[in-house]
């Protein structure tokens, strides 16, 4: 077998750790999707798209967690090989959408917004596509090479977003900029977990533990980077709605 881990060798404890974390991921995506779709009507129209995109990210992830869970159960029973591609297809769809929701909530001028999308969306696709061959590689050599290639667009995205979020801070009311700072921190902290989880087999963690650690790392990072991130986007949209429109603020009891 290639680098895709043989799940039939997991102990009962390792099996339930992975099964429980995947179930937690599924529940988080389900609840956040419903909450965000229902809540989008509660912000001013110009911010609704950001919330709808955030809910769509968790909806796409909800579907993939169901498939990952199924694939994990089937592979543990020895009926199939665990399919790590669901995760990468999920990221291929959700990472560009996460970037779009961030750009949408900032309500930047159109030219600025278009240039950001044109730079960040292709970079995010390159990051995920270059990471996949390394994820399924059995040998450390190709894992390191693909991982290093994927890190180039990764650092580029973080750099561009960090600069852009920082630039937007002075133009916002104090409360909004405090929340945008929190969003910036959440982005750096959670996106950093993915390459660390990927590197577990390289860091000398043994096969089964590296597999379990990777599934836990990716799932916890996904819940923070999609659910908590989307809820923070919702909070920014509410604060900005209140700052833009005094009647919204008083109807929502925000001032």
Residues of the shown chain interacting with ligand RET in the complex, contacts defined by CB under 6 A: 91, 94-95, 98, 127-128, 131, 147, 150-151, 154, 191, 194-195, 198, 222, 225-226
Q: Where are the alpha helices (DSSP H) in the chain?
A: 12-39, 45-76, 85-106, 110-135, 140-169, 174-191, 193-198, 207-222, 229-244, 246-251
Residue nearest to ligand RET (CB): 131
Q: How many CA atoms lie within 13 A of 28 on its CB side?
A: 23
Shortest CB 247 distance to ligand RET, Å: 35
Shortest CB 136 distance to ligand RET, Å: 11
Q: Which residue number, 191 or 248, has a Cβ lying nearer to ligand RET?
A: 191
Shortest CB 47 distance to ligand RET, Å: 20
Structure tokens at 209: 């533990």
Q: Which residue number, 98 or 165, has a Cβ lying nearer to ligand RET?
A: 98
Q: In this structure, what is the dihedral angle of CA atoms 234, 238, 240, 241, given to the nearest 10 degrees? A: 130
CA 33 – CA 30 distance, rounded (Å): 5
Q: Which residue number, 53 or 242, has a Cβ lying nearer to ligand RET?
A: 53
Structure tokens at 196: 């660390």
Structure tokens at 102: 């961030």
Q: Which residue number, 113 or 195, has a Cβ lying nearer to ligand RET?
A: 195
Q: Which residue number, 17 or 136, has a Cβ lying nearer to ligand RET?
A: 136
Shortest CB 172 distance to ligand RET, Å: 24
CA 81 – CA 214 distance, rounded (Å): 17
Shortest CB 183 distance to ligand RET, Å: 13
Q: Which residue number, 214 or 238, has a Cβ lying nearer to ligand RET?
A: 214
Beta carbons within 10 angstroms of residue 65's beta carbon: 26
Shortest CB 252 distance to ligand RET, Å: 29
- Measured CA distances, 85 to 78, 91, 128 (Å): 18, 10, 11
Q: For residues 215 and 65, is the Cβ–Cβ distance under 8 A?
A: no
């Amino acid at each position: 077998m290639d680098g895709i881990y043989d799940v039939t060798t997991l102990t009962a404890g390792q099996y339930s750790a992975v099964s429980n974390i995947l179930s937690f991921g599924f529940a988080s995506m389900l609840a956040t999707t419903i909450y965000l779709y229902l809540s989008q009507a509660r912000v001013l129209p110009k911010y609704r798209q950001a919330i709808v995109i955030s809910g769509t990210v968790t909806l796409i992830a909800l579907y993939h967690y169901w498939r990952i869970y199924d694939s994990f159960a089937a592979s543990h029973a020895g009926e199939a090989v665990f399919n790590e591609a669901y995760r990468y297809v999920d990221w291929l769809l959700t990472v560009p959408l996460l970037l779009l929701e961030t750009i949408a909530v900032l309500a930047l001028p159109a030219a600025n917004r278009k240039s950001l999308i044109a730079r960040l969306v292709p970079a995010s696709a390159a990051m995920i596509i270059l990471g996949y061959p390394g994820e399924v590689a059995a040998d450390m050599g190709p894992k390191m090479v693909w991982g290093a290639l994927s890190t180039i667009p990764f650092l580029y995205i973080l750099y561009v977003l960090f600069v852009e979020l920082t630039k937007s801070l002075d133009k916002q009311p104090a409360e909004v900029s405090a929340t945008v700072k929190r969003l910036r921190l959440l982005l750096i902290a959670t996106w950093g977990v993915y390459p660390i989880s990927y590197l577990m087999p390289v860091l000398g963690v043994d096969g089964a533990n590296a597999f379990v650690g990777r599934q836990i790392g990716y799932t916890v990072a996904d819940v923070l980077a999609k659910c908590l991130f989307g809820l923070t986007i919702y909070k920014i949209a509410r604060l900005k709605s209140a700052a833009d429109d005094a009647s919204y603020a008083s109807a929502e009891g925000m001032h």
